[in-house]
Chains A and B, each alone.
Chain A
Amino acid sequence: MQAQILPGTLDLLILKAVSLGPLHGYGVLLRIEQISGGALLVEQGALYPALFRLVRQGLLEASWGTSDNNRRAKFYELTSAGRKRLRQEADGWNRLATAIASALNAQPEEV
């Protein structure tokens, strides 16, 4: 089953995808599908405003290059600021996820 991604998590997913190696926009899309096991659905057009935002915030760096299938493409790379942000956001997300999971798993006898 596929899920719409939660608002605000697209940036985190992009950072994670790009941290595994420089990617162009379509590549980011494919990588997110791949690493989420196809469970997360990203609206294709919406990816680009997010990429532009991350570049402007200095978390990503863009440069033009050639893709596998010999098309000119813009590649995105993580900057050191981006790496730091990814770590923070991932930690924060994990803490939140753990907390929510444990809350949802609470049993009557534990209360």
Chain B
Amino acid sequence: MRLLSSLRSGAAALFRRAQREGDLDEELRAHVQNRADDLERSGLTRAEAERQARIEFGGREKFKEECREERGGFWLETVWKDLRFGARMLLKSPGFATVAILTLALGIGANTAIFSVVNAVLIRPLPYPYANRLTIIWSQWGKETRGPASGPELMELRKRSRSFDDVGGIWATSGTITGTAEPQQVRLAFTTANFLPLLAEKPQLGRFFAPGEDRRGAVPLMILTDGVWRSQFGANPGITGQTVRLNGNEFTIVGVLPRDFKLLFPDGSGVAADVQVFIPFLDDLEKRERDTGFLRMIGRLRRGVTAARAQSEAEGIATQLRGEAKEYADQSLHLTVAPLQADDVRLVQPALLALFAAVGLVLLVTCANVANLLLARSAGRRHEAALRAAMGAERKRIIRQLLTENLLLGCLGGTVAMGIGWAALKWILSLQPEGISRLIEVKLDGWVLAFTLGVSILTGILFGLAPALSVARRDLVGVLKESGKAMATGKQWLRQLLIVSEVALGCILLVGTGLMIRTFASLLRVDPGFRPENVLTFQLSFPGTRYGTVESVTNFLKELRANLASMPGTQAVGGVSHLPLDEGKGNWYSYYWADGAPAEQQNTVMADHRSTLPGFFRAMGATMLAGREFEETDDAAHAHVTIVDDTVAEQLWPGQDALGRKISVEDSPRGPYQFTRESVVVVGVVRHLQSHTLTSKGRGQIYLPVPLAPRPVYSIVVRTTESVQTFSAYLQQAVKKLDKDMPVANLLPQTDYVEKARAQTRFVTVLAGALGTLALLLACIGIYGVTSYSVAERRREMAIRIAVGADSADVGKMVLRQSGMPVVVGVIAGLGLAAALTPLLSGLLFGVRPSDPLTYLAIAFVLGGVGLAACRIPARQATRVDPMIALRCE
């Protein structure tokens, strides 16, 4: 209420200002007149009486100000007056105002842009109902802590847990839709009936799956995403009830998801954001194998239950399960409950926070810069302030006025910054950083506006306080006696301190940028174990209805290989179930052990499992370390062979030759999901291929021939000199000839996957580079400004020095020495601070240590050089001072 009434009287004060001012004037004038009347009566002349009355009354302006203050609603009136005054002062020096506002706009605009990204990715809740209660539940399998769950795990968790409203499961794969104009490969996800309602309010058309519709024997139903509904079904509003042939089976469409629906699963979960078609499992999940994990689980916490509580409950359930079934004990099952959003951003968070910190540094540099500009201007302002103080203005009041003026400057900068931020954001989005999937949602919303306003105000205070205090210092007489121009050395040390901090802050930023650039350079140099140049890849999927036997798949692949091999330009053709660095498909990994290993050694070595076509390693440009790769002769009758990578070989037989050894594997030579344990002979050892990231080694790999390990989806790899266009035309024909209903999907150069694996580092590096450049630019402007201002100030002194015989080169050196000192000190301080801070970045770095001496040296050299160059220009001007002209000026 107090605030409200204070606001009301403030507003009243503002609107009836003129009248109230008039009243105040009149009242005080009446007083003086009355007093003068009395004095006149006592015998003075009228003129003298009035003069006497005025003297007796005292400092009229001061009392008026006190009256206004007592009257209430004063603050708003003051602010208004100060704003108008501030605007007038800025208009009086347009050059200063332009430079200050532009500098601020750059600093604040960069913050606006980066904050928009941080807001969209880290702060804003996921676009799901009750997003803050959604969790992802990982199943631990051996050393793999972020593994998928088996069917029985999901069902047991759902049955036993009291912490969750609901737990849903999803498994993503690829499928083929036929019966439309062209056969189409789609990203397909099997879900439990309750899964989609966890992630969407309601479908835009039709309905979700109902409970029970995911069980074995239920009618096959399908839900489409908006994208596939538009591209494949012409956005037909009457689509529900129609049937679609998927992998050879009829599915009835029951719903279309909302337009903005997106699956936002963490990297490495094997659930791609671009799933197009959802179908129910149509299976009794509780009857699946306990130790075959493939499900990703999403749980919605009950209202008021924390993720930590759910975690301890889930862990309790895992303990029960381990006690109840051997399979769970063998896989040492644990369950991890993590908030979905936190888990989603787990990998990008450090990078975004580092960028946010960097842009904060840019803002500080900006503040230092503008503070310097203000200080330079403060010589003149000090005179004005002293004059006002002499007329009775309180120091507090003057500081307040100056601060208001600075806030105005900050807010003007902030306004321009919105434009710059918007442009910067366009640019950031044009970088298309893969792996920051939520970036697509970035926009300038209310929070961003509020942030920008807040930053503008904070900036206004930050850069304005020191100059305001320095202007409003007490020594009135001293200031008034000075001419107003010759305030040469007043706050030299403060300005130098600002330069030191500006350079130091810029230095930290540049060292960080330098380390990111070195990281990116290492990523460019890293050997992924294959040569991605001149390699084209595409995906084929083999629906069980038409490719029911293993022979049908191997025959198709054999004929296709032969056909593509005969194409001009082809050097090698191969294929694999999981393409290196393609994270769109659920990974497949398991325990492998040497044949006959004792039980306690069986569950120790885990490796990625790859079903492999002959020619794969040749086509990929991988390095065979020993033995041979698969050939067409490794057919169904001779399928019990394997190739391992050096990681697996070293783990199973450290220091020994792996060739000819036997490994126990589990696979399904009789068809998908009919697992049997087999013994296979190692016929080749290949160098490790980077499968998931370019940087971390990860699990080893084990390769099995297709007849032993048939899969429904393969990526074909062709090393060719042909362009994508030429190859594509030929390929379509070749595939059509074998099967007119077989779609070709994801025809891409392998280099695209490598690019994608580098995308996040590239994104961070480019942004860090932009921020570093901005900081360098601002620091240069600051150094140049201060130096040239101090040279201009000291023209007279220089002139005298030259007039009494100093060499003009010596004068230049003196200026360079004095202005260069803060730069050198700043660089040294900055390097020290950077050394202390950069270990925080180590999670983002690769192939370079945070204390990399080369980076530090290069940055010291660049920043020092550029900084000194910025001093040098004004220093040269100092040498050209003509003593006669300079001295006559005064």
Complex Cα distance, B37 from A53, in Å, reads 27
B58 x A49 contact (CB < 8 A): no
**B65 nearest CB neighbor, chain A only:** A49
Complex Cα–Cα for A15 and B35 (A): 21
- Find the B residue at minimum CB distance from A27: B34
Residues on the A chain within 8 Å of B67, using CB: 48-49, 52
Which residues of chain B (1-60) have a CB below 8 Å from chain A? 23, 26-28, 30-31, 33-35, 37, 56-60
Q: Which of A1-40 contact B (CB under 8 A)?
A: 24-26, 29
Given A25-B31, A26-B35, A49:B26 Cβ within 8 A: no
Report whether B30 and A67 are in contact in the complex, using a CB–CB cutoff of 8 Å.
yes
Q: Does A111 contact B (CB under 8 A)?
A: no
* Nearest chain A CB to B40 CB, angstrom units: 11
Q: Is A108 an interface residue (CB 8 A)?
A: no
B426 in contact (CB, < 8 A): no
Q: Indicate if the CB atoms of B69 and A44 lie closer than 8 Å.
A: no
- The complex places the Cα of A26 from the Cα of B57 at a distance, in Å, of 11
A45 touches B59 (CB 8 A): yes
In this assembly, does B628 line the interface, its C-beta being within 8 Å of a C-beta of chain A?
A: no
A101 within 8 A of B: no
Closest chain B CB from A46 CB (angstroms): 7
Contact of A49 with B27 at beta-carbon distance under 8 Å, contacts A67-B34, A69-B34 already known: no
Known: A56-B70, A56-B71. A45 touches B30 (CB 8 A): no
**C-alpha spacing A86/B71, complex, angstroms:** 21
Question: Assuming the A-B contacts A52-B71, A56-B71, are A45 and B35 also in contact, with contact meaning beta carbons closer than 8 angstroms in the complex?
Answer: no
Say how far A65's CB is from chain B's closest CB, in angstroms: 11
Known contacts A49-B66, A74-B23, A44 near B71 by CB under 8 Å:
no
Task: For A46, give the chain B residue with the smallest CB separation.
Answer: B63
- The interface residues of chain B lying within 8 Å CB-to-CB of A29 are 31
A45–B70 touching, CB < 8 Å: no
- Shortest CB–CB separation between residue B56 and chain A, in angstroms? 6
Chain A residue contacts of B326, Cβ below 8 A = none
Residues from chain B with a CB closer than 8 A to the CB of A56 are 70-72
Chain B residues, Cβ within 8 Å of A53: 70
Contacts of B72 in A (CB 8 A): 56
Partner of A72, one of B30, B60, B63: B30
Bound CA span A24–B31, Å: 8
Inter-chain CA distance A62–B89, complex, in Å, is: 38
How many chain B residues touch the partner (CB < 8 A)? 23
Which A residue sits closest to B23, measured CB to CB? A74
Residues of A within 8 Å of B66, CB to CB, are: 48-49
Give chain B's interface residues, CB within 8 Å of chain A. 23, 26-28, 30-31, 33-35, 37, 56-60, 62-63, 66-67, 69-72
A residues near B69, Cβ cutoff 8 Å:
49
Contact A44 B34 (CB under 8 A): no
Could you tell me if B30 and A52 are in contact, using CB atoms closer than 8 angstroms? no
Q: Which A residues lie at the B interface, using CB under 8 A?
A: 24-26, 29, 43-46, 48-50, 52-53, 55-56, 67, 69, 71-74
Complex: how many Å from CA A52 to CA B67?
Answer: 6
Starting from the known contacts A45-B58, A45-B63, 11 additional A-B residue pairs (CB-CB under 8 Å) come to: A24-B31, A24-B34, A25-B27, A26-B35, A44-B31, A45-B57, A48-B63, A48-B67, A49-B67, A49-B70, A52-B67
Q: How far is the CB of B165 from chain A (nearest CB, A)?
A: 58
**Chain A residues, CB < 8 A from B26:** 72, 74
How far does the Cβ of A58 sit from chain B's closest Cβ, in whole Å? 11
Known: A56-B70, A56-B71, A56-B72. A48 touches B27 (CB 8 A): yes
- Please, how many angstroms separate the alpha-carbon atoms of A71 and B28 in the complex? 12
28 contacts between A and B (CB under 8 A): A24-B31, A25-B27, A26-B30, A26-B34, A44-B31, A44-B35, A44-B57, A45-B58, A45-B62, A45-B63, A48-B27, A48-B28, A48-B66, A48-B67, A49-B66, A49-B69, A49-B70, A50-B70, A52-B67, A52-B70, A53-B70, A56-B70, A56-B71, A67-B34, A69-B37, A71-B33, A73-B34, A74-B30
Contacts of A71 in B (CB 8 A): 30, 33-34
Q: A48 — which chain B residues lie within 8 A by C-beta? A: 27-28, 31, 63, 66-67
Once the chains are docked, how many angstroms separate the CA of A67 from the CA of B35? 13
Q: Which residues of B contact A44 (CB under 8 A)?
A: 31, 35, 56-58
A contact residues around B30 at 8 Å (CB) = 24-26, 67, 71-74
Look across to chain A and name the residue whose beta carbon is closest to the beta carbon of B59. Answer: A45
B62 to chain A: which residues have CB within 8 Å? 45
A95 to chain B, nearest CB (A): 28
